[in-house]
């Protein structure tokens, strides 16, 4: 008997909802995302989370993201409820993620990496001045907006699910993505850390990946190392700040110096 594929629910079809579904954009453990159009014809990406699964991180995402309005941060539009979901409407970025952009290119020319990195730092600095540390800055959480007349897309920071505001308690939790995580988050000797400083480390990891096409603390290609051992080796190198610069990739002295200054623990 053929298996009927499970249809994605469509909360936007409920009475009173002012958005119309255009297409599915993706799904994950958090829920799913749809591209939608409002009554004015404007597009939005809407994230749907089960109402029963709401936790402190969801609350922080909504509260902190709603504080931010900047050209290099995905715009928070509104939050509304359906019968089963909490629905978070955000700006739709037409260019996909920076992760897929770099993956497609293999690595970026230094001038292109500089274009994106400058926008990343401007966006992160704005968030920090507004009192918000993202705590999960990575290629996958930076989206690209194609703008007519510009040679390259604009970068926009998204996903504030692990964010921490100055008005909340101090950062203590080991949250984020391992390959981008700062040593002080991993070790956490004092039981707390500065989430904004940890963001800067993550930006440094992003710059390294853009320039070299690999993560700074990964096992070099060609080494047949069991996964568990590879992770332990990576953790050891992260805490010890031991990374190598791949040969055969031309990066300016200024670029290498910037990396060295960013990949330092707090």
pLDDT reported for residue 6: 56
pLDDT reported for residue 11: 86
Q: What is the CA radius of gyration of the chain?
A: 20
**Domain spans of the chain?**
11-90, 98-262
Cα separation of 260 and 249, whole Å?
Answer: 16
DSSP result, 98-122: HHHHHHHHSS--HHHHHHHHHHHHH
pLDDT reported for residue 244: 83
pLDDT reported for residue 266: 61
* Of 136, 194, 236, 266, catalytic: 136
Q: Domain 11-90 sits in which CATH superfamily?
A: Phosphorylase Kinase; domain 1 (3.30.200.20)
pLDDT reported for residue 188: 75
**Torsion sign over Cα 247, 253, 254, 259:** positive
pLDDT reported for residue 65: 97
Q: Is 136 a catalytic residue?
A: yes
Residue-level pLDDT, tens digit, the chain, 266 residues: 455 455 667 788 888 788 999 999 988 777 899 999 999 999 999 999 998 888 888 999 999 999 999 999 999 999 999 989 999 999 999 999 999 999 999 999 999 999 999 999 999 999 999 999 999 999 999 999 999 999 999 999 999 999 999 877 667 677 888 899 888 888 877 778 889 999 999 999 999 999 999 999 887 766 777 777 777 888 888 887 888 888 889 999 999 999 989 987 66
Provide the annotated binding site for ATP. 47
One of 3.55.40.10, 2.40.128.20, 1.10.1660.10, 1.10.510.10 is the CATH number of 98-262, namely 1.10.510.10
Phi, psi of 46 (to 5 degrees): -115, 125
Q: What DSSP designation does 161 have? A: T
């Amino acid at each position: 008997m053929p298996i009927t594929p499970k249809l994605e629910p469509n909360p936007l079809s409920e009475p009173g909802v002012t958005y119309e579904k255009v297409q599915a954009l993706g799904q994950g453990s958090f829920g799913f995302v749809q591209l939608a159009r409002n009554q004015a014809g404007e597009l939005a990406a809407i994230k749907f989370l089960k109402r029963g699964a709401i936790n402190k991180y969801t609350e922080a995402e909504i509260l902190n993201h709603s504080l931010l309005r900047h050209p290099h941060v995905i715009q928070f539009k509104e939050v509304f409820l359906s019968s089963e979901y909490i629905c978070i409407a955000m700006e739709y970025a037409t260019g996909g993620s920076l992760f897929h952009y770099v993956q497609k290119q293999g690595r970026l020319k230094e001038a292109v990496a500089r274009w994106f990195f400058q926008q990343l730092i401007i966006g992160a600095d704005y968030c920090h001045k507004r009192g918000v540390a993202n705590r999960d800055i990575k290629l996958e959480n930076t989206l690209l907006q194609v703008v007519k007349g510009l040679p390259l897309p604009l970068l926009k920071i998204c996903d504030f699910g692990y964010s921490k505001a100055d008005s909340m308690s101090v950062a203590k939790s080991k949250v984020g993505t391992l390959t981008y995580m700062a040593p002080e988050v991993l070790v956490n000797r004092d039981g707390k850390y500065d989430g904004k400083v940890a963001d800067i480390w993550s930006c440094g990891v992003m710059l390294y990946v853009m320039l070299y096409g690999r993560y700074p603390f990964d096992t070099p290609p060609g080494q047949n190392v069991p996964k568990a051992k590879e992770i332990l080796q990576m953790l050891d190198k992260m805490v010890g700040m031991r990374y190598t610069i791949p040969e055969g990739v031309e990066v300016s002295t200024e670029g290498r110096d910037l990396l060295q200054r960013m990949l330092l623990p707090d």
